[in-house]
């Protein structure tokens, strides 16, 4: 589904599928320069990162294992605490591994901040972050993000894995959701 198919639900398109894929190729080339072959593990954060992981991993010119985490905050009102609950843990041991966390978006930064500490505590050799989108104005904690696709305004965005009430994840482009949809 393209933004034009649901134009009434959207205001501004922030990144088209073509722009996203071009950016993923650029970052994949950089990552391939930065890591030795066979040294890297990609960890995707469900569910939003599914699309990024699928396209980014295939853009890499090297073999790379993939694992997944699913996390959620401990309940309404506590999100700002940054305490998260593991709903699905990694299947692999990341001790002594070079981990690249693949995220669709950094909003407050709380999820990643927690994940970075958690992975460091498991003895990873290194832990870096690739986020396709980042909202600098929404940051509550600073997260060092080695690879960033696009910095975007602090708006409600959907598409390419990003949802509103589980909808819009299968939109190929990323766009601002029109206020009439959620108000
Ligand atoms: C989104 C996104 C990040 C997190 C970022 O996931 O995929 O994991 O929020 O927000 P933060 O920087 O404020 O912590 P969400 O909890 O919406 O789950 P989903 O990926 O299943 O949609």
pTM higher than the cut 0.75 = yes
Task: With cut-offs at 50, 70 and 90, classify the pLDDT of residue 96.
Answer: very high
Decide if 73 is inside a domain.
yes
Q: Which of 182, 174, 134 is nearest to 157 (CA)?
A: 174
Decide if 90 is inside a domain.
yes
Decide if 174 is inside a domain.
no
CATH number of 77's domain: 3.40.50.2020
- 5-14, 46-55, 82-91: least confidently modelled range: 82-91
Which atom number of ligand 1 is nearest to the Cα of residue 48? Answer: 20
Which residue's CA lies nearest to atom 2 of ligand 1?
105
Which of 107, 151, 163, 173 is the catalytic position?
A: 107
175 pLDDT exceeds 70?
yes
Average pLDDT for 111-129: 96
Decide if 182 is inside a domain.
no
Residue 107 appears among annotated catalytic residues: yes
Average pLDDT for 91-115: 96
Per-residue pLDDT, 84: 86
Cα of 43 vs centre of ligand 1, distance in Å, is 14
Decide if 76 is inside a domain.
yes
- Give just the sign of the alpha carbon dihedral 137, 133, 2, 183: negative
Which residue's CA lies nearest to atom 13 of ligand 1?
108
The pLDDT tens digits of the residues spanning 157-172 come to: 999 999 999 999 999 9
> Are 148 and 129 contacting, i.e. CB atoms less than 8 angstroms apart?
no
Average pLDDT for 75-85: 63
Per-residue pLDDT, 82: 66
Provide the domain limits for residue 126. Answer: 17-152
Average pLDDT for 39-52: 97
Cα of 58 vs centre of ligand 1, distance in Å, is 23
| Mutational pocket test of ligand 1: of 111, 143, 177, the residue with most ligand atoms within 8 Å of the beta carbon | 111
- Name residues contacting ligand 1 (CB within 6 A): 45-48, 103-111, 163
Task: With cut-offs at 50, 70 and 90, classify the pLDDT of residue 78.
Answer: very low
Q: How many domains is the chain partitioned into structurally?
A: 1
**From CA 64, how far away is CA 42, in angstroms rounded?**
7
Residue 102 burial class via C-beta count within 10 angstroms: exposed 0-12, middle 13-18, buried 19 and up: buried
Which residue's CA lies nearest to atom 16 of ligand 1?
72
* Cα dihedral: 39, 45, 51, 55 (round 10): -10
Task: With cut-offs at 50, 70 and 90, classify the pLDDT of residue 81.
Answer: low
Decide if 169 is inside a domain.
no
Cα of 54 vs centre of ligand 1, distance in Å, is 17
Cα of 180 vs centre of ligand 1, distance in Å, is 22
Task: With cut-offs at 50, 70 and 90, classify the pLDDT of residue 83.
Answer: confident
Decide if 127 is inside a domain.
yes
Decide if 170 is inside a domain.
no
Average pLDDT for 19-40: 96
Per-residue pLDDT, 114: 94
């Amino acid at each position: 589904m393209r933004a034009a198919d649901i134009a009434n639900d959207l205001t501004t398109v922030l990144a088209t599928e073509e722009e996203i894929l071009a950016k993923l190729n650029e970052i994949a080339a950089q990552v391939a320069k930065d890591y030795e072959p066979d040294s890297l593990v990609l960890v995707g954060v469900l569910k939003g990162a599914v699309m990024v992981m699928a396209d980014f991993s295939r853009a890499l010119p090297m073999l790379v294992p993939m694992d997944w985490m699913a996390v959620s905050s401990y309940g309404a009102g506590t999100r700002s605490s940054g305490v998260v609950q593991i709903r699905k843990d990694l299947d692999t041991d990341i001790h002594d591994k070079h981990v690249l966390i693949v995220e669709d978006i950094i909003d407050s930064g709380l999820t990643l901040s927690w994940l970075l500490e958690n992975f460091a505590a498991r003895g990873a050799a290194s832990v870096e972050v690739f986020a396709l989108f980042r909202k600098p104005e929404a940051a509550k904690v600073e997260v060092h993000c080695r690879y960033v696709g696009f910095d975007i305004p602090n708006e409600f965005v959907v598409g390419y894995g990003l949802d509103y009430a589980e909808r819009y994840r299968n939109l190929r482009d990323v766009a601002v959701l029109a206020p009439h949809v959620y108000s």
